[in-house]
């Protein structure tokens, strides 16, 4: 009897790191709550509720997609979406998670979320919102989020029709078309959904940046265009979108094109190939690059976030040049302090997390020794948030 009682007691005890959850930006706190749900049903529901509330405060409202190259500001923003620290992804996950704990409350959460309607992106805005998760949640809710009585009353169908009718931008229509294509309700429900989608296609306004960023919409429409009226609606949509002048695809801010960043990038490239054993001259060149990175300050006409990502990339390259323990012990503390003090931590937590997680990867030639030293330096010189991420394993 002792072991089951002990396990029951442990299941009720929150982990020590939970006390520090509010030291994190709201999106990171929400992610931690959703990734470490309590075994107790009531406490698990409370965690989901709190994550749902915190997620609304996330700095990034939607995940972003882009065709920009990786070494660009838009490319990094797209990479940062993988952590799913945007408000939409977190709130959708919370609603879906609540379905397994309290289906009625999960449905309420889903219904409380408005159809995401980001403003039309300007051509200069290379990264575009991607809204597919919301429409995936709507499909899930329509399938299993309503009671038998509610389904008899048609509430699930009205829910979907409301969403599709409000979806007229390319980003929204991409999700709406997927929803209609994947919905497998009775035939009498298919007609109204198809009619609503056709109407939304006709109502779409020109949006050249979003139109170019949503090629999946045409693929989703392939199997729907044979239904009555849909081909005409699709052609009307394409005509409307192509009536606007296409955006210039050269709008992404590219790294390493000028200024101090270009100079440091060239110096970093000169450190290749990495010797198997460092000599005094090589160590001096590595430390000179380290000093240059540390002294790099903001530049006119270079976005501060771009400098943040470029400096982080140079630090990561430096870890690959640390062929001696002494070099590693000089580079890693500097990297940790840079990440600790970066304004991106509060200005764009999703992009900051991208850099933080890379900092504690097993970079060659140090390998796992690099990871151990990163953890050691975080314990010694990091802040509460960095230690929280290490304690929860979110850093890996």
pLDDT in tens, 167-198: 999 999 999 999 999 998 888 999 999 999 99
CA separation for the pair 293, 314 (Å, rounded): 7
For 71-113, write each residue's pLDDT tens digit.
Answer: 999 999 999 998 899 999 999 999 999 999 999 999 999 999 9
For residue 3, the model assigns a pLDDT of 40
Q: Over the stretch 12-49, which tens digit does the pLDDT of each residue have?
A: 567 777 888 888 999 999 999 999 999 999 999 999 99
Reduced to 3 states (helix: H, G, I; strand: E, B; else coil), residue 395 is coil
Q: Considering only CA atoms, which of 171, 158, 166, 161 is closest in space to residue 203?
A: 166
pLDDT band for position 396 (cuts 50, 70, 90): low
Q: In whole angstroms, how far apart are CA 150 and each of 17, 144, 192?
A: 41, 11, 18
If you ran DSSP here, which 8-state letter would residue 23 be given? G
The pTM score is: 0.91
| Percent of the residues in the chain that have a pLDDT greater than 90, as a whole number | 81
Residue ranges of the domains in the chain?
21-242, 259-392
Tokens of 106: 């999960």
Q: How does pLDDT run across 326-373, given as a tens digit for each residue?
A: 999 999 999 999 999 999 999 999 999 999 999 999 988 888 999 999
What is the 8-class DSSP label of residue 14? P
In whole angstroms, give the CA distance from residue 32 to residue 56: 15
Q: What is the mean pLDDT of the chain?
A: 92
């Amino acid at each position: 009897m002792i072991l089951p009682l002990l396990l029951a007691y442990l299941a009720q005890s929150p982990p020590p790191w939970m006390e520090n959850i509010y030291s994190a930006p709201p999106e990171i706190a929400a992610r931690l709550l959703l990734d470490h749900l309590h075994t107790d049903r009531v406490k698990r529901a409370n965690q989901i509720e709190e994550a749902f509330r915190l997620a609304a405060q996330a700095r990034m409202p939607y995940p972003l997609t882009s065709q920009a190259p990786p070494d660009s500001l838009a490319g990094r923003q797209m990479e940062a979406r993988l952590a799913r620290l945007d408000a939409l992804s977190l709130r959708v996950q919370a609603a879906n998670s609540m379905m397994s704990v309290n289906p009625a409350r999960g449905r309420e959460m889903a219904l409380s979320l408005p159809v995401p309607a980001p403003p039309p992106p300007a051509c200069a805005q290379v990264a575009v919102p991607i809204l597919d998760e919301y429409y995936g949640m709507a499909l899930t809710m329509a399938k299993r989020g309503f009671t038998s009585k509610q389904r008899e009353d048609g509430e699930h169908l009205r829910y979907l029709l409301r969403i599709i009718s409000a979806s007229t931008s390319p980003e929204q229509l991409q999700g709406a078309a997927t929803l209609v294509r994947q919905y497998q309700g009775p035939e009498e429900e298919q007609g109204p959904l198809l009619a609503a989608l056709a109407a939304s296609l006709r109502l779409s306004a020109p949006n050249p940046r979003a139109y170019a960023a949503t090629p999946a919409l045409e693929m989703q429409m392939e199997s729907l265009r044979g239904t009555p009226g849909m081909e005409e609606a699709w052609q009307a949509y394409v005509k409307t979108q192509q009536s606007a002048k296409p955006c210039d695809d050269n709008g992404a801010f590219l790294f390493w094109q000028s200024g101090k960043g270009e100079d440091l990038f060239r110096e970093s490239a000169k450190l290749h190939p990495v010797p198997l054993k460092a000599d005094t001259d090589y160590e001096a060149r590595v430390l000179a690059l380290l000093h240059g990175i540390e002294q790099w300050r903001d530049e006119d006409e270079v976005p501060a976030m771009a400098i943040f990502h470029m400096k982080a990339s140079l630090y990561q390259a430096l870890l690959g040049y640390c062929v001696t323990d002494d070099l590693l012990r000089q580079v890693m503390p500097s990297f940790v302090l840079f990440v600790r003090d970066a304004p991106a931590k509060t200005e764009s937590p999703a992009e900051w997390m991208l850099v933080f997680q890379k900092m504690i990867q097993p970079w060659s030639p140090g390998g796992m020794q690099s990871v151990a030293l990163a953890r050691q330096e975080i314990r010694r010189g990091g802040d509460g948030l960095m230690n929280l991420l290490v304690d929860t394993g979110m850093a890996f």
